[in-house]
Structure 1
């Protein structure tokens, strides 16, 4: 063979399936003898190994240092420096520890793309059976080259993209690429050039598995040029997005840091130039300001809140791989879901029988999945007699021309074998038949297995009376042809009705033979059959998915089905699920035909995307994100990995999902159930609510301390608290009261609110107003208590002790106000609190008693014991604050200035 043949020029990947296999062999310069070792070696040098490239990665040190490059970290380090300047080494160490923990978490979670690519590389078969120089041999899969003759058998993993030249009863499980749960039938005839990936019956793709039959083919693409390699390139090209919370925290931290630095500098200059403070005295005052402003516990409490959400979601069968994904789920505005197994049960169910009486009559079958609980009943007025008796011949054919078996495991029914054949066994049991007894009575003598070339299966049996009976099942058009197409166009109309309902349809026929042949041949299956009827199958929707989709609609969350299934089937399932009364369906070909700009409008109005490719899914997700939507994407196959990584939240299936999909995802569903996604979204909204509650509680309390320091410097009076006392308030209360908010349960009506806008700031108008109001109230009360104590002739240390205790008590009462952002807090439920709140309350009270009365604490913080009447006055101030803030919330709501959900 010449040198040109050793280095074949490959046409575009989209063409191989459409070329006759003889032309493929000619283009690749291969004969029935296969390549010679020399030719194979030359092509290996020209095309490279049949392996996916190693993903580029950053050095570990660089990845670790990158975790510190954001405003929030700088902000925290500034707070640590402030605490260190005051000599509070423990406090500074705590802040630095928080920074290090956050950096380590980010470092460990980095590299999702590398992990996903590594998982994909592992899916390529390690060995392959080939014909080279007229000899069958086993070679390393990485040594395959274009032009190699590959032999494939049931159980083999396809080692490279292969154009089939022979296929005998060959079915290939392509779920990792197409999402189809039913193995694809293969044959060697050329497919249409525009055929979608799942319709390319002449191709076997790298990484897929031969489920049945055998075949042979010519390798046309290897390594990165295969379909699975192309998906790997898509993953590598996807840039991970920051979560809404991280974006908001980053913006908030940058703005907060800027304001704090400018304010500190201005205050320092004012203290020195106007008030005549010394440099060291002014610096200590500014450091006190910084200590009051920095919410030291904020990042830790956010992290703990997210971790609590992770634990709660685990109970809902959702495993969170990326901590911020907890909150992102709560911001989700669009869920793009796979169909098979997620929205549906992934269990074929016989749902419709059509038989001939005086006219065609239809029988409906109740029950779902492989559980034999259910019954048969006539639909309409066309049926006569008992439906199971009227359809006896059809039911028997379905049971006997069948290789599947049913069994129950821990009360759950499973089918061994083809899913549709399993559904036929279940149907027979629902009709009152004992599958084992009937199969024993009707002894099978021989069979012709199903093959895509002739599209039917035939089985020869001896009846209990000794007759030879031949049953056939298969594509209804083919079975009708074998029976001489009885009934005019009535059967075709029935087939069309079932297909329009999204059902897969099988036809059944039988004939009696005078003598049983020694071996069943195609001559016996040419003609003379009696048509028995049709059976329609559907993969039924999960009942809980229907409820979950309705809940999504009430929560303002759009749900879009993206599937590899046919448009008619997907549209019918979408109607049953309640996605829309008349779902808008678009195919992958339609997505390919529009520009990125036009796809935005198409994606927005479409409910179902059918026959989609990995590029289609990726473009759809990006189009939705371009409108500001926060997109959650579900998937289980390698073909889903790029879009899972692109989505704001990638959700992989834990049961049927590939390792590549799980590595690319943020969340893994252990039960592969759409309802679990909605439960996780609800939990995500709760987590975000609790983070907002914690911020709404932290900032005003810190703000009151800051304003007290600023007010003291501006007025030239003694500060009502020392820097050490400010640190005590912040650390003692944030580690108890602030943390308690992380355990708050879900508020009523949380799924009746629309999703929050993706670009919404961390601080709403109400929160800004509340921060200002509460900060001012805290400041005024602090100065009032401080000066009232001095007016009574008490020393400064006593006045400061009263101020600290007053602030802590106000923080306690303010906590009870903040616990309910969207409803009134003055209620029995609000007063009782949660176990976490009560524990925190007990810890703070104990801490304050120690702060006030314990001698060692008095020595550290310069405090004095508080009298009983002063203690009663402090509690009364807390109650008054609670009443004022509840009245403010009620007033704003009645004036329409605060809508539920704005906070």
Structure 2
């Protein structure tokens, strides 16, 4: 919001003391009072987790059996598991809070005689709030001053039409949650938070929960299935063991041990962590992800629809040429000395905002200052305006001075001004020929006109005025320095680029060619596109790169057509009219600097620096996160299988050592696997080929049997290796303790090797060892150090019921675990050979 808004001087706003007093009396401007975070409540919530309940149950049984050391170990495990979960939840919570704070909309208020932007929650009763076209109203109030102000109250009334209001109308009320359609207003806040009309509609509207994403639903179903299997196997093992031993407590321990080994509680924790921390990492890159669920979609984007101005270009409009229709005069290179040329520039300036924020309008005001002998801007007041609308669009401003002299100036698309002017066909062709010549150079062209309308009965639409066509103004907005590289990265990643702009064909083509966009000779305008049926629309959009002279309905039609064609659509927009298309797309992208509030609200992602290259970063992050979740889940499934089968098969098959693992051994493995799944794999870097692969299908999932089959085979291979060691040790040494030790050591070694092998399902382990992830090596070194303590520290060895291993025995365990895991390297090699061919 500019700080030179024309508002009455007697408006001063609240001072700091009045703000504090109002806040104390009426509270803050929040629709609902969110419960404050309490760490102890979070811990209590964690204790409801199935794994922790199982650990507590095991601890109680150990206490009853008088095995106090095991009981205290299990209680320590409760603390360790809850600590890891608490740490992860805290990281995720802080990441989400940081995103929420940045996503809070800002509101412009007048305080201490100064205009400032504040968080919406800081608004207090009696504040003077300033709203203008494209912004949301964030409190209820009463209009004190306005200028051609209208507001869309569809969110409250359902009426799609905007309502004009002012301090002079009978209805001066303005309501939170509504959208400013045109003009500007200053209003005094009367109600905030729950006291607003929106707040009284009930918290049920505000607290609507997001629908789970397809991947979330798939993970939930997978975990539930595993939980049901765990319950069934728990009952079966309990029954079998009790039938054999008639010992109910030991039977319970055996069943609970298996239940712990089956329950994949790490998977939903990992998903939540990956999404939250992924959003947080993107925030540090200058990308605000408003909803963490968007992260899941990023890697699937197949089409990006981008606007031109400020996205492909610098958004630095320099005035390059002016054409005066009267006299057929064309001036370029900054020579604006001709009187007719100056008249075109002056009229274009009056058709701009009095306090400009658009780069073109800023340029026009500066150009006016250089050509005028006397500045009339302070003498004239804007008393009526028509905002940018129409197909193609135009805008009209009406000014008057104290003597009653009027200026009615309009600017907009060349065709728009031609259509509302009295011109012969020859004159029309003459103007269009000049416009096309300038546009072919990459210039952005605007037509300029004025009206001599008299009277106060202004027409409902600006197109009803009769204008005199004055001329054309041409701006040049050069492509961004990095845009060629960005466009190439999109295409390398298998993502199509469509330029969706309100500009004309020739200008768009020139900029697209300079930006390195292929097939820039194919274009269609909005008026023609909207006439096509669904199948024709899909075909044309696929075959066309430049979509020009687009208006809101056409943009929305493009997004809907691409979605029906099963494309995952990313839409870039910054204006009020981009809202519907941004909302409808899978990934709505707004610009942080030049984007309007309506665009930012409708979007899923905000690029803080208006840099499209950040979308390459975001898409790469989405692919990295999805790939890492896949690796984490496949790792956890692969390592759970040998644990489950090592615990259950000796019992079911009647082998000589049915109690090879106890809950102590299983929980040790769980303490390793939890951080590996949710902390270590989250930190994995992106694989080097990720942005050279086509986007994954949105509905594809790594939880399908085809994808999970490799994990199952990995798990079964490790199981075969462990059971081989079991039988080898039992036959060779005839010792339960030694057999348990070798089986346990083999499983721990296999876990570490698996965590390294599963860092990629394409590149070899020798390649991935070079990937920078200190957490991976740190946790594996910690795991092996703890294994050494368990094996060679007598007190700990006695607790785990294991015995020290010789170098030969350790070598056998390491060799078997390596063979049972590293066979996957042969499969990776075959995949690489197939891809390289």
Same fold (TM over 0.5): yes
Deviates more, 1:290-299 or 1:553-562: 553-562
After TM superposition, the structure 1 = structure 2 runs for residues 444-523 of structure 1, keeping only pairs within 5 Å, are: 444=374, 490-498=430-438, 503-505=444-446
1:698, 1:738 within 8 Å by CA — same for their partners in 2? Answer: no
Aligned match of 1:248 in 199, 218, 221? 218
1:258 aligned onto 2:199: no
1:337, 1:561 within 8 Å by CA — same for their partners in 2? Answer: yes
1:688 aligned onto 2:632: no
In the alignment, which residue of structure 1 is the partner of 2:787? 848
Instruction: Name the SS of the counterpart of 1:505 in structure 2.
Output: strand
Q: CA deviation at 1:703?
A: 0.9
Aligned match of 1:773 in 702, 713, 717? 713
1:653, 1:670 within 8 Å by CA — same for their partners in 2? Answer: yes
In the alignment, which residue of structure 2 is the partner of 1:864? 803
Q: CA deviation at 1:874?
A: 2.5
In the alignment, which residue of structure 1 is the partner of 2:679? 739
1:702, 1:730 within 8 Å by CA — same for their partners in 2? Answer: no
After TM superposition, the structure 1 = structure 2 runs for residues 863-902 of structure 1, keeping only pairs within 5 Å, are: 863-891=802-830
In the alignment, which residue of structure 2 is the partner of 1:346? 315
- In 2 relative to 1, CA 277–626 (structure 1 residues): closer, same or farther, beyond 3 Å? farther
Distance 2:706 2:421 in 1: 72
After TM superposition, the structure 1 = structure 2 runs for residues 192-231 of structure 1, keeping only pairs within 5 Å, are: 223=175, 228=180
Q: CA deviation at 1:580?
A: 5.6
Distance 2:436 2:124 in 1: 39
Instruction: Name the SS of the counterpart of 2:446 in structure 1.
Output: strand
1:736, 1:843 within 8 Å by CA — same for their partners in 2? Answer: no
1:715 aligned onto 2:653: yes
Distance 2:556 2:280 in 1: 30
Distance 1:151 1:872 in 2: 84
Q: CA deviation at 1:248?
A: 2.8
Q: CA deviation at 1:701?
A: 0.9
Q: CA deviation at 1:668?
A: 3.3
Aligned match of 1:294 in 247, 252, 263? 263
After TM superposition, the structure 1 = structure 2 runs for residues 367-446 of structure 1, keeping only pairs within 5 Å, are: 397=342, 419-420=359-360, 422-423=362-363, 443-444=373-374
- Write the deviation string for residues 266-316 of structure 1: whole angstroms up to 9, x where unpaired: 44444445x566433332222111111223544444444445434432342
2:643, 2:666 within 8 Å by CA — same for their partners in 1? Answer: yes
- In 2 relative to 1, CA 77–864 (structure 1 residues): closer, same or farther, beyond 3 Å? closer
Q: Structure 2 length normalisation: TM-score?
A: 0.65
2:760, 2:768 within 8 Å by CA — same for their partners in 1? Answer: no
Distance 1:419 1:742 in 2: 42
Distance 1:239 1:598 in 2: 38
Distance 2:249 2:712 in 1: 30
1:120, 1:660 within 8 Å by CA — same for their partners in 2? Answer: no
- In 2 relative to 1, CA 250–626 (structure 1 residues): closer, same or farther, beyond 3 Å? farther
- In 2 relative to 1, CA 483–294 (structure 1 residues): closer, same or farther, beyond 3 Å? closer
Distance 1:336 1:737 in 2: 36
Distance 1:605 1:872 in 2: 62
Q: CA deviation at 1:327?
A: 3.2
1:549, 1:579 within 8 Å by CA — same for their partners in 2? Answer: no
In the alignment, which residue of structure 2 is the partner of 1:329? 298
Q: CA deviation at 1:714?
A: 1.2
Q: CA deviation at 1:725?
A: 0.8
- In 2 relative to 1, CA 788–848 (structure 1 residues): closer, same or farther, beyond 3 Å? same
- In 2 relative to 1, CA 313–205 (structure 1 residues): closer, same or farther, beyond 3 Å? farther
Distance 2:586 2:423 in 1: 54
- Write the deviation string for residues 658-689 of structure 1: whole angstroms up to 9, x where unpaired: 56665665543221222212211111111111
2:226, 2:264 within 8 Å by CA — same for their partners in 1? Answer: no
2:317, 2:477 within 8 Å by CA — same for their partners in 1? Answer: yes
1:351, 1:537 within 8 Å by CA — same for their partners in 2? Answer: yes
Distance 1:338 1:418 in 2: 16
Distance 1:58 1:552 in 2: 43
In the alignment, which residue of structure 1 is the partner of 2:745? 805
Instruction: Name the SS of the counterpart of 1:827 in structure 2.
Output: helix
Structure 2, unmatched stretches of 5+, are: 1-28, 63-70, 108-118, 131-138, 183-197, 350-354, 387-394, 400-408, 451-467
- Write the deviation string for residues 747-767 of structure 1: whole angstroms up to 9, x where unpaired: 122122222222223324554
1:125, 1:158 within 8 Å by CA — same for their partners in 2? Answer: no
Distance 1:594 1:223 in 2: 40
2:791, 2:804 within 8 Å by CA — same for their partners in 1? Answer: yes
In the alignment, which residue of structure 1 is the partner of 2:141? 142
Distance 2:811 2:288 in 1: 49
Distance 1:794 1:257 in 2: 36
Deviates more, 1:216-225 or 1:77-86: 216-225
Instruction: Name the SS of the counterpart of 2:803 in structure 1.
Output: coil
In the alignment, which residue of structure 1 is the partner of 2:616? 678
- In 2 relative to 1, CA 491–732 (structure 1 residues): closer, same or farther, beyond 3 Å? closer
1:502, 1:572 within 8 Å by CA — same for their partners in 2? Answer: no
Distance 1:123 1:646 in 2: 34
1:91 aligned onto 2:77: yes
- In 2 relative to 1, CA 603–281 (structure 1 residues): closer, same or farther, beyond 3 Å? farther
In the alignment, which residue of structure 1 is the partner of 2:702? 762
1:333, 1:558 within 8 Å by CA — same for their partners in 2? Answer: yes
Deviates more, 1:576-585 or 1:683-692: 576-585
1:635, 1:651 within 8 Å by CA — same for their partners in 2? Answer: yes
In the alignment, which residue of structure 1 is the partner of 2:775? 836
1:814, 1:881 within 8 Å by CA — same for their partners in 2? Answer: no
Instruction: Name the SS of the counterpart of 1:754 in structure 2.
Output: coil
2:96, 2:276 within 8 Å by CA — same for their partners in 1? Answer: no
1:318 aligned onto 2:287: yes
2:305, 2:572 within 8 Å by CA — same for their partners in 1? Answer: yes
- Write the deviation string for residues 171-225 of structure 1: whole angstroms up to 9, x where unpaired: xxxxxx9xxxxxxxxxxxxxxxxxx99xx9xx9789xxxxxxxx99997996489
Distance 1:267 1:705 in 2: 15
Distance 1:123 1:497 in 2: 55
Deviates more, 1:604-613 or 1:681-690: 604-613
Distance 1:285 1:494 in 2: 87
Aligned match of 2:758 in 818, 822, 834? 818
In the alignment, which residue of structure 2 is the partner of 1:522? none
- In 2 relative to 1, CA 485–555 (structure 1 residues): closer, same or farther, beyond 3 Å? closer
Q: CA deviation at 1:598?
A: 11
2:278, 2:621 within 8 Å by CA — same for their partners in 1? Answer: yes
- In 2 relative to 1, CA 889–549 (structure 1 residues): closer, same or farther, beyond 3 Å? same
Distance 2:430 2:295 in 1: 54
2:486, 2:616 within 8 Å by CA — same for their partners in 1? Answer: yes
- In 2 relative to 1, CA 760–797 (structure 1 residues): closer, same or farther, beyond 3 Å? same
In the alignment, which residue of structure 1 is the partner of 2:252? 283
Distance 1:863 1:151 in 2: 83
Aligned match of 1:702 in 640, 645, 648? 640
Deviates more, 1:687-696 or 1:482-491: 482-491
- In 2 relative to 1, CA 689–75 (structure 1 residues): closer, same or farther, beyond 3 Å? farther
Q: CA deviation at 1:320?
A: 3.6
